[in-house]
Structure 1
């Protein structure tokens, strides 16, 4: 089976189940409501309706921070979809017929990565629409700059798409290394929602820890995008990474995990 046919098969697997659109709806609700609520807060602070709110970005970078919420808090969703792309095969034991149809396992893995990239673009589009759309509307209603006329804003939105694709690759790598679906999901949620935020929070007070935290996957993703609510809140090193360096670090996480999974898990017997 060719790469094109294998990729089509992988996409069919994704869109024939309900998990992809359930995650998309949760993503839209989570980042959309957060962005809209923060936009109202920023607008109210800027207009003086609720006075001064410490830590709320009200300057020219407010729009960028709002739009970047798509990735800074929504990145867990492409990681999950990438993880489920692999672990679902092991859990439901559909990998055997997959390998029978396409005996070359490397080709199957490549098809999964391509399908994952498509899913990453799709999820990025959803996240951008529900963050940038309402946020821009609220900012405009308060007479604040939306930034939609600036090329830098569109470059930021483009980098969000790249970040989502790279996060899917990271998720695929995690699914390869940790074949048990429940364990993989727990690891993803524990690290993204607790471990890394705590490390980045600690890095705001300890310089050495902050320098290390800059190379964590979430921090690298924020550096790639170029704006983040966490950086605004001081949860990061003072210098941080350049956007291209953040992209390379996040790509490195995905590459290392995928290669490790291919060498030590993907080539093993299924049963």
Structure 2
């Protein structure tokens, strides 16, 4: 039986657990759109240092990702609190841990947008980037997280998957609440893992694609 406070946090965390794909896709589109509409040439003329151009996109998407998080949490906290209160379950809005979850969730959404920028730089075809993102987030990682539960060793490895790290940073998880994943990392460790994914995606995108000649 999940305590009332745990139920409330699980409901509110759905903003990230289910919604992180939106800033991820938006971050990718911010880069692939440059390739698709052939806007990279004027971009690089305005900002000759390509690393600075990509970093600027990352910073902008960091803010937009947090904005997507605000919108998502308004929906889950607003609707969730009403439903939880009506059902007799505490909404937990007076608890500091609830609002810490929201703040950490906003950070997670912001980092997902930066990961999207890396994806967009790495897979410059817009359609291909969206297909890969949806396949990874909606099929591959959920499957890997389920398979990882087969034994203790793989379960610990599964905690370092990006979605699992995002849930750990947020501080609540739909998967964990229903026994679909093992005990997660500490929130700060989850944040560092997700940040590492953001840096890795952006670095790979820069070195493998972004630096190439524009045609």
Q: Which among 116, 126, 132 is matched to residue 171 of structure 1? A: 116
- Counterpart of 2:199 in structure 1 is 255
Q: Which one has more relative contact order, counting CA pairs under 8 Å at least 6 apart?
A: 2
- Counterpart of 1:181 in structure 2 is 126
Q: Which among 99, 103, 117 is matched to residue 62 of structure 2? A: 117
**Residues of 2 paired with 1:107 and 1:215: CA distance?**
29
Q: Is the 8 A contact 2:162 2:194 kept in 1?
A: yes
State the TM-score, normalized to the length of structure 2: 0.96
- Counterpart of 1:199 in structure 2 is 144
1:93-116 CA distance string (max 9 Å, x none): 111111122222122112101110
User: How many aligned positions are there?
Assistant: 215
**Residues of 2 paired with 1:59 and 1:152: CA distance?**
13
SS at match of 2:5: coil
**Residues of 2 paired with 1:142 and 1:178: CA distance?**
46
- Counterpart of 2:81 in structure 1 is 136
1:65-85 CA distance string (max 9 Å, x none): 000000011111111011111
1:115-172 CA distance string (max 9 Å, x none): 1012111100110001000100111122321111011100000001000011011111
- Counterpart of 1:267 in structure 2 is 211
Deviation, structure 1 residue 205: 2.9
**Residues of 1 paired with 2:95 and 2:164: CA distance?**
25
- Counterpart of 1:241 in structure 2 is 185
Q: Is the 8 A contact 2:4 2:90 kept in 1?
A: no
Superposed CA RMSD in Å reads 1.3
Q: Which among 111, 121, 146 is matched to residue 91 of structure 2? A: 146
SS at match of 2:4: coil
Gap runs ≥5 in structure 2:
none
**Residues of 1 paired with 2:122 and 2:149: CA distance?**
31
Q: Is the 8 A contact 2:4 2:89 kept in 1?
A: no
Q: Which among 81, 100, 106 is matched to residue 26 of structure 2? A: 81
- Counterpart of 2:155 in structure 1 is 210
Deviation, structure 1 residue 214: 0.7
**Residues of 1 paired with 2:155 and 2:23: CA distance?**
25
1:43-78 CA distance string (max 9 Å, x none): xxxxxxxxxxxxx84633100000000001111111
State the TM-score, normalized to the length of structure 1: 0.76
Q: Is the 8 A contact 1:203 1:235 kept in 2?
A: no
